[in-house]
Amino acid sequence: MQIGIVGLPFSGKTTLFSTLLKHKSQDAVGKMSAERGVVKVPDERLDRLTEMFNPKKKVNATIEYLKVPGLEGESAGTRGLPPQFLANLKTVDALLVMVRAFENEYYPHPLNRVDPKADIEFINAEFLLSDLGIVETRHEKLKKLVNKTQDEKDRRELALFEKLKEQLENEKPLREMDFDEHESLILKGYQFLTAKPVLYVLNIEESQIPNAEEIEREFTAYTGKNAAVTSLSAEIEKEISELEEEDAKVFMEDLGIKEPALHKLIRKSYELLGLISFFTVGEDECRSWPIRKGTNAQKAAGVIHTDLEKGFIRAETVHYDDLIRLGSMAACKEQGLLRLEGKDYIVKDGDILNIRFNV
């Protein structure tokens, strides 16, 4: 799963990306070159299971982040979004939009203001105009095709693009629309920006950290279906990431922070992608596996290995909460909480699975 990090210049996206990966961003790769990095998803449940089973290794679920330059500010609206920018975002599953909410005279805002709501509106408008241009072009082609061929497939696609056009002309993102399976299949090839889930990240000042939740509430207009808002101070998160664990705890206590805001951001990214985690445990390895919500046990087994999906028999299942509450698999079995589930069982967030299979 991949999330594209975008934002106006000096919004803090490079600092955020570097901190996520705990290395310096390689600016020398070129102004329009995207940078990739894989980040572990923090999960206290996996930490607890690792303590319980004492395996040889612990493996967290991961998300790939892609830092994408090219959203430059005032001149973007006259030229449209750069082709390379659009190409970089074509394959990402969701967008992380870094929004500047801090003052810094050494790094001037490209639009000569610090107004996070105006920046969100500006970026959303750029994405919307980009999608609208694609929709209008395809809509015109489809109208000509239908007039010429009267093909039913083209008629259905034309009807879909008329709905898309109306939505975008009303300045509403495509992510707010519902599509059936056939429509989703058509849209998959277009990778519209406003159809992707989006997480707006407010890059606030250190002094605003105690009021972070209150600040986020001021941006509820930008939350909704497949859209969320969170906040952090990228500079402070960078400092935390560079400290030893004990020093970081003291530093966070001084700031009144329970955990790095980056952990919250990564979890929100995970949720935004519609992902949940199930676990496998044992002496060799304790591991968190990401799957889409609504995935059945046989498909979940395939995430571990294709042979497990092909030869699936049953999934021995217990929930994390029950295991922690009772303290052992044996106790869970005695209580009837360690059970066998078939291939159609819908895996829940926090399930611990042991797949029985035969190939």
Is the distance from CB of 344 to CB of 315 less than 8 angstroms?
no
Would you say residue 67 lies in a domain? yes
Which pLDDT does position 73 carry in this prediction?
63
Would you say residue 49 lies in a domain? no
**Same domain flag for 69 and 147:** no
Residue stretches of the chain with pLDDT short of 50: 24-30, 75-77
Would you say residue 237 lies in a domain? yes
**Same domain flag for 190 and 214:** no
- Sign of torsion over alpha carbons 306, 340, 278, 95: positive
Q: Final residue of a domain: which of 194, 218, 242?
A: 194
CATH (domain of 129): 1.10.150.300
Which pLDDT does position 139 carry in this prediction?
93
Which pLDDT does position 28 carry in this prediction?
39
Which pLDDT does position 148 carry in this prediction?
86
**Same domain flag for 88 and 202:** yes
Q: Final residue of a domain: which of 194, 219, 237?
A: 194
Q: Token pair for residue 306?
A: 């294709």
Which pLDDT does position 24 carry in this prediction?
47
**Same domain flag for 135 and 250:** no
Neighbouring C-beta atoms of residue 128, cutoff 10 Å: 20
Task: Name the strands in the sheet holding 62-67, side by side, starting at the edge strand that comes first in the sequence.
Answer: 35-40, 62-67, 2-7, 94-100, 198-203, 227-232
CATH (domain of 239): 3.40.50.300
In whole angstroms, what is the distance from residue 338 CA to residue 351 CA? 11
Report the number of distinct structural domains present in the chain: 3
**Same domain flag for 145 and 167:** yes
Residue 160: give the domain boundaries. 125-194
**Same domain flag for 265 and 153:** no
In whole angstroms, what is the distance from residue 16 CA to residue 66 CA? 11
Would you say residue 221 lies in a domain? yes
**Same domain flag for 223 and 153:** no
Would you say residue 48 lies in a domain? no
**Same domain flag for 31 and 81:** yes
Would you say residue 54 lies in a domain? no
CATH (domain of 326): 3.10.20.30
Q: Token pair for residue 211?
A: 């009021």
Which pLDDT does position 110 carry in this prediction?
83
**Same domain flag for 154 and 205:** no
Would you say residue 307 lies in a domain? yes
**CA 266 to each of CA 44, 83, 245, 358: distance values in angstroms, whole numbers, following the listed order:** 13, 28, 19, 36
Which pLDDT does position 94 carry in this prediction?
94
In whole angstroms, what is the distance from residue 263 CA to residue 295 CA? 25
**Same domain flag for 239 and 336:** no
In whole angstroms, what is the distance from residue 219 CA to residue 206 CA? 19
Q: Final residue of a domain: which of 150, 172, 194?
A: 194
**Same domain flag for 13 and 104:** yes
> Tokens 């990778």 appear where?
191
Which pLDDT does position 79 carry in this prediction?
59
Which pLDDT does position 188 carry in this prediction?
85
**Same domain flag for 6 and 94:** yes
Q: Token pair for residue 29?
A: 């790769």
Would you say residue 284 lies in a domain? no
